[in-house]
């Protein structure tokens, strides 16, 4: 059995379509109730299809505020930057005002960028929705197993990340769970071991967030070993 807040879908495309719908619903609710939609975007490759699917949709884009859950310490225009992926797939294609797009200035280096981003997100919480992926080792954002993170901070410097590049900036658990909802997008066979560990109660960055934050999981068949 999978937890009741997990939704098992056939494949990555079905996950992306469902994620699009849930993001749009969250946006409509937030804008109706509070006049803006504060969303933390996931990095990596899994969410790209979802971001592409959002582009044709009719949303009040001028009410969206985009944040990032983590960033790689690379030049601001580097193709491997999460900010560049979000811009390529979504924010360059919909009319979100530039001043409402908040990249992590990871090109400044992990410590300075983390300090500056902590200030930026201080006034943005609680977020309306935090999108997160999960790595094969159970990491999420740039919170990696075996790494310690200063929980009093909202954003932290990451060194020696096992997933290149080694230097990153990440929102901490404290910031990531300060959200009205968290949506994990997990697809592909490579995530099976981490999913199994999660379901078996392992202590991982992803499970720490799941334990502390209101969350939902969209997962495809390939990522789920035979259902428990
Ligand atoms: C990053 C991401 C990272 C990602 C997972 C899953 O900077 O790489 O923030 O946390 O979400 O590693 O990556 P994929 O979606 O590419 O499998």
pLDDT in tens, 172-195: 999 999 999 999 999 999 999 999
- The CATH number that applies at residue 50 is 3.40.50.1360
Does 227 fall in a domain?
A: no
Gap from CA of 168 to ligand 1 centroid (Å): 12
DSSP 153-166: -SEEEE-S-SSSSS
| Digit-coded pLDDT (tens) for 77-128 | 999 999 999 999 999 999 999 999 999 999 999 999 999 999 999 999 999 9
> By residue range, what is the domain housing residue 151?
6-221
Gap from CA of 33 to ligand 1 centroid (Å): 31
Gap from CA of 108 to ligand 1 centroid (Å): 21
Give the pLDDT score at 226: 64
Number of domains in the chain: 1
Does 121 fall in a domain?
A: yes
Q: Which of 134, 143, 185 gets mutated to test ligand 1 (max ligand atoms within 8 A of its CB)?
A: 134
Sheet holding 37-41, edge to edge: 6-9, 215-220, 182-186, 129-132, 37-41, 64-68, 101-102
| Digit-coded pLDDT (tens) for 25-47 | 999 999 999 999 999 999 999 99
Does 112 fall in a domain?
A: yes
Ligand 1 cavity residues, CB under 6 Å:
42-46, 70, 72, 82, 133-135, 139-142, 163
Does 78 fall in a domain?
A: yes
Dihedral over alpha carbons 91, 156, 176, 164 (to 10 degrees): 60
Does 134 fall in a domain?
A: yes
Does 94 fall in a domain?
A: yes
Residue 105, SS3?
Answer: coil
Give the pLDDT score at 165: 98
Q: Is the pTM of this model over 0.95?
A: yes
Give the pLDDT score at 228: 46
Gap from CA of 79 to ligand 1 centroid (Å): 14
Does 204 fall in a domain?
A: yes
Does 228 fall in a domain?
A: no
Sign (positive or negative) of CA dihedral 166, 169, 174, 177? negative
With cut-offs at 50, 70 and 90, classify the pLDDT of residue 151: confident
């Amino acid at each position: 059995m999978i937890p009741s807040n997990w939704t098992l879908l056939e494949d990555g495309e079905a996950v992306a379509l469902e994620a699009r719908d849930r993001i749009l619903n969250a946006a409509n609710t937030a804008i109706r109730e509070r006049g803006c939609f504060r969303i933390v975007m996931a990095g990596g490759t899994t969410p790209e299809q979802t971001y592409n699917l959002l582009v044709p949709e009719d949303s009040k884009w001028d009410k969206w505020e985009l944040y990032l859950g983590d960033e790689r310490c690379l030049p601001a225009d580097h193709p491997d930057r999460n900010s560049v992926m979000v811009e390529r797939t979504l924010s360059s294609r919909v009319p979100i005002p530039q001043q409402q797009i908040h990249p992590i200035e990871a090109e400044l280096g992990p410590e300075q960028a983390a300090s500056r981003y902590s200030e930026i997100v201080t006034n943005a919480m609680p977020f309306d929705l935090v999108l997160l992926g999960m790595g094969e080792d159970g990491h999420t954002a740039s919170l990696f197993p075996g790494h310690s993170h200063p929980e009093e901070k909202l954003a932290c410097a990451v060194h020696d990340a096992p997933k290149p590049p080694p230097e990153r900036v990440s929102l901490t658990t404290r910031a990531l769970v300060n959200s009205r909802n968290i949506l994990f997008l997990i697809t592909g066979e490579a995530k099976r071991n981490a999913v199994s560990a999660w379901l078996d109660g392992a202590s991982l960055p992803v499970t720490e967030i799941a334990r502390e934050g209101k969350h939902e999981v969209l997962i495809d068949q390939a990522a789920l070993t035979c259902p428990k």
